[in-house]
Amino acid sequence: MIRFTPFLVCALLAKASLAIPSPFTNLARQAGDVCPLDAVSCQNVSGINSCCVETPGGLLLQTQFWNFKPAKGPVDSWTVHGLWPDKCDGSFDVSCDPSREYPNIRDVLTGNGKEDLLRWMEEFWVDTRGDNERFWSSEWNRHGTCMSTIAPNCMPEGSATGLDAAFYFQFIAEAFKSLPTYEFLSSAGIKPDRTKTYSLDELTSAIKAAHGFLPALDCKNGALNSIFYYFNLRGTVMNGTLVPFDAPKRGSCPKNGIKYLPKTN
pTM of this structure: 0.88
Q: Tell me: pLDDT of 84 over 60.
A: yes
| Banded pLDDT at 14 (limits 50, 70, 90) | very low
| Banded pLDDT at 250 (limits 50, 70, 90) | confident
pLDDT given for residue 168 in this prediction: 98
Q: Mind giving me the DSSP string for 22-45?
A: -TTTTSPPTTGGG--TT-BTTSS-
Alpha helices in 29-129 (DSSP H): 105-111, 115-124
Report, as residue numbers or ranges, the catalytic residues. 81, 139, 143
Amino acid at 33: D
pLDDT in tens, 154-187: 998 899 999 999 999 999 999 999 999 999 999 9
Share of the chain above pLDDT 70, in %: 87
pLDDT given for residue 23 in this prediction: 41
pLDDT in tens, 43-58: 989 899 999 999 999 9
Q: CATH classification of 59-259 is 3.30.70.20, yes or no? A: no
Answer whether 113's CB lies under 8 Å from 163's CB.
no
Best CA proximity match to 171, nearest among 53, 25, 35: 25
